[in-house]
């Protein structure tokens, strides 16, 4: 609607409040790689965690010191000092300083009932804790974000005290005051009315932090911005405690692409879909297909009348061009959309018309494979091999005759797996064997044992990622699984896919594709005896 120049800072708490979500647990490596992606999309603040809580959290801040972020500021999170103490000698506050982040988030109590019943202190001491903690951190040169825990419940219960907390934090020098709807029970019309009331107070700039317990966290965030907030907190995919935090994957495009607000992320919204899926992959949670903007169904159209209109005039059937958020239209059951994508991909091997037999073959193969559970969006390596096969340009490296794995487990001892494998190598039968712990490692060992003598390039290849997803969990132990394997030669990286009811076999498929991909794409560089 109306364009204006008001700016909003986007504050991501995927790595802190988001970690409170059910089944959410990021490793240190996950957290670091997510932080890089958040920076790339133009997130203004990345809240990395609670340095006092455990070593993993502290290690994150340590690693961040040596990383370069192009735009984002890293923030550590902690609470106000303890009742009766001093900020400079408080363990929580010290841990925040030691995290050495330019930004520090301090959370304080705003709801009188919490001050008395949970914190077990007085209204006055709570104000002193807030003032002391903020002003100490300001003296230490930090940018201070003050999170007002349970602000909305506190305001409804005891408005005067909630306002006093705001004023105290403002006077103590907080750079931004963030009313938090910690229990998630606030509705948009309440948010609007409360921010309207706050306008008349003379305070530091306001932010907003919402949870989705009423299904309105995104709308609450927009209402806060319209009510004057200049800083919005949320998480990627909206994952967080209980029903989650406000979903930045909806807030960012709503604010920048629809409402005309300015934010650093506005220039990178085409990375949104890929960011959403990256975080889902790290969380090992199947992304919500129906998620606004970034879900795979968000721009899908069922065949028939709607799809027809899409071809005539897409803007009549879509609220937004999906490519603006890095998503794409899916016309289900329509081959036309698919073919242009295929032709685009095949450009690597030349210029093909949509009705070229290789295009037709590839469309059919893809359809069959996708029905079987394969997915090529994240497995470009395997897709490359399918293209080569359709074009008759595929060179086989690994021709399996058979493999045999034996896993032994004796009580209280680590299991071991023995593998033997026969392959045909240009007519010769070659054999490999290995003893490892798990079956996948054993297959890889046996394969290398068989082929490395003739194909020394295998020694330079390394697997860097291995991911498993169960496709039909309801079939339990007989379920079909999809395995992705990412490999590298130290320079390039490629991902391949395998699907089977047997997880070992699915892994084998992805493993074979990984080596075949390298072999086919580096054939010309190989010494003649390794071709």
Beta carbon of residue 65, minimum distance to a second copy (angstroms, whole number): 22
Beta carbon of residue 376, minimum distance to a second copy (angstroms, whole number): 11
Q: Does the protein bind a second copy through residue 226 (CB under 8 A)?
A: yes
Considering only residues 127 through 186, tell me which ones interact with a second copy, judged by CB under 8 A.
150, 183-186
**Is 185 within 8 Å of 153 (Cβ atoms)?**
yes
Single out the residue of 232, 250, 362, 387 in contact with a second copy (rule: CB under 8 A).
250
- How far is Cα of residue 378 from the mean position of the Cα atoms in its chain? 14
Q: Does the protein bind a second copy through residue 389 (CB under 8 A)?
A: no
Single out the residue of 407, 489, 520, 521 in contact with a second copy (rule: CB under 8 A).
407
Considering only residues 45 through 84, tell me which ones interact with a second copy, judged by CB under 8 A.
53-54
Q: Does the protein bind a second copy through residue 454 (CB under 8 A)?
A: no
Considering only residues 185 through 214, tell me which ones interact with a second copy, judged by CB under 8 A.
185-190, 212-214
Single out the residue of 443, 451, 458, 512 in contact with a second copy (rule: CB under 8 A).
443
Q: Does the protein bind a second copy through residue 336 (CB under 8 A)?
A: yes
Q: What is the C-alpha to C-alpha distance for residues 99 and 60, in angstroms, rounded to an integer? A: 9
Q: What is the C-alpha to C-alpha distance for residues 57 and 48, in angstroms, rounded to an integer? A: 8
Helix (H) or strand (E) holding 95: helix 91-98
Considering only residues 360 through 379, tell me which ones interact with a second copy, judged by CB under 8 A.
375, 377-378
Q: What is the C-alpha to C-alpha distance for residues 243 and 152, in angstroms, rounded to an integer? A: 18
Q: What is the C-alpha to C-alpha distance for residues 417 and 61, in angstroms, rounded to an integer? A: 40
Single out the residue of 101, 417, 446, 496 in contact with a second copy (rule: CB under 8 A).
417
**In this structure, what DSSP letter does residue 313 have?**
-
Q: Does the protein bind a second copy through residue 321 (CB under 8 A)?
A: no
Single out the residue of 312, 347, 348, 428 in contact with a second copy (rule: CB under 8 A).
312
Q: How many CB atoms lie within 10 A of CB 504?
A: 20
SS3 state of residue 202 = coil
Beta carbon of residue 359, minimum distance to a second copy (angstroms, whole number): 20
Nearer to a second copy, 274 or 488 (CB): 488
Query: Among 85-93, 199-207, 236-244, 351-359, which window interacts with a second copy (CB under 8 A)?
Result: 236-244
Nearer to a second copy, 312 or 347 (CB): 312
Distances (CA, A) of 449 to 67, 425, 456, 518: 39, 13, 11, 18
143-149 and 103-109 as β-strands: parallel, antiparallel, unpaired?
parallel
- How far is Cα of residue 449 from the mean position of the Cα atoms in its chain? 37
Single out the residue of 125, 173, 438, 489 in contact with a second copy (rule: CB under 8 A).
438
Distances (CA, A) of 81 to 117, 125, 140, 199: 17, 11, 15, 29
9-12 and 231-234 as β-strands: parallel, antiparallel, unpaired?
parallel
**Is 504 within 8 Å of 405 (Cβ atoms)?**
yes
Nearer to a second copy, 13 or 298 (CB): 298
**Is 114 within 8 Å of 154 (Cβ atoms)?**
yes
Single out the residue of 399, 429, 492, 493 in contact with a second copy (rule: CB under 8 A).
399
Single out the residue of 123, 163, 337, 470 in contact with a second copy (rule: CB under 8 A).
470
Considering only residues 476 through 515, tell me which ones interact with a second copy, judged by CB under 8 A.
476-479, 481, 485, 500-505, 507-508, 511
């Amino acid at each position: 609607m109306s364009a204006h120049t008001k700016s909003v800072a986007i504050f991501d708490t995927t790595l802190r409040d988001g970690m409170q979500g059910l089944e959410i647990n990021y490793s240190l490596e996950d957290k670091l790689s997510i932080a890089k992606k958040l920076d790339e999309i133009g997130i203004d603040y990345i809240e990395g965690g609670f340095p006092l809580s455990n070593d993993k959290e502290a290690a994150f801040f340590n690693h961040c010191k040596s990383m370069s972020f192009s735009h984002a500021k890293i923030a550590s999170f902690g609470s106000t000092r303890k009742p009766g103490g001093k900020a400079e000698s408080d363990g929580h506050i010290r841990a925040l300083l030691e995290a050495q982040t330019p930004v520090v988030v301090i959370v304080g109590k705003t709801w009188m009932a919490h001050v008395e019943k949970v914190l077990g202190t007085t209204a006055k001491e709570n104000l002193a804790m807030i003032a002391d903690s903020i002003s100490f951190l300001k003296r230490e040169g930090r940018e201070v974000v003050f999170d007002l825990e349970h602000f909305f419940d506190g305001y409804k219960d005891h408005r005067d005290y909630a306002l006093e907390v705001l004023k105290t934090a403002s006077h103590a020098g907080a750079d931004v005051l963030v009313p938090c709807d910690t229990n998630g029970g606030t509705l948009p019309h309440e948010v609007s009315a409360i921010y309207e009331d706050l306008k008349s107070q003379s305070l530091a700039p306001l932010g907003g932090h919402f949870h989705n317990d009423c299904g309105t966290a995104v709308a609450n965030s927009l209402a806060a911005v319209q009510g004057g907030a200049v800083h919005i907190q949320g998480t990627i995919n909206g994952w967080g405690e209980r029903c989650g935090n406000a979903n930045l994957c909806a807030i960012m495009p709503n604010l920048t692409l629809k409402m005309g607000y300015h934010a650093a992320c506005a220039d990178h919204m085409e990375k949104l879909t890929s960011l959403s899926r990256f975080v889902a992959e790290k969380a090992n949670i199947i992304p919500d297909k129906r998620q606004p903007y970034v879900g795979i169904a968000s721009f899908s159209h069922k065949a028939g009348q709607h799809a027809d209109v899409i071809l005539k005039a897409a803007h009549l059937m879509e609220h937004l061009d999906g490519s603006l958020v890095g998503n794409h239209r899916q016309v289900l059951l329509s081959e036309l959309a698919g073919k242009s994508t295929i032709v685009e991909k095949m450009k690597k091997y030349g210029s093909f018309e949509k009705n070229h037999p290789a295009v037709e073959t590839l469309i059919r193969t893809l359809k069959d494979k996708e029905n079987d559970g394969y997915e090529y969006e994240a497995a470009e390596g395997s897709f490359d091999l399918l293209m080569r096969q359709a074009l008759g340009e595929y060179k086989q490296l690994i021709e399996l005759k058979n493999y045999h794995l034996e896993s032994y487990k004796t009580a209280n001892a680590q299991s071991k797996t023995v593998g033997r494998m026969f392959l045909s190598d240009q007519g010769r039968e070659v054999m490999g064997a290995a003893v490892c712990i798990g079956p996948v490692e054993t297959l890889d060992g046996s394969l290398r044992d068989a082929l490395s003598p003739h194909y020394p390039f295998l020694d330079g290849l390394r697997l860097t990622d291995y991911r498993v997803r169960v496709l039909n969990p309801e079939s339990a132990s007989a379920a079909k699984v999809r395995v992705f394997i990412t490999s590298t030669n130290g320079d390039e990286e490629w991902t391949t896919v395998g699907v089977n009811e047997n997880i070992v076999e699915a892994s084998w498929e992805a493993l074979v594709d990984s080596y075949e991909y390298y072999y086919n794409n580096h054939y010309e560089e190989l010494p003649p005896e390794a071709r």
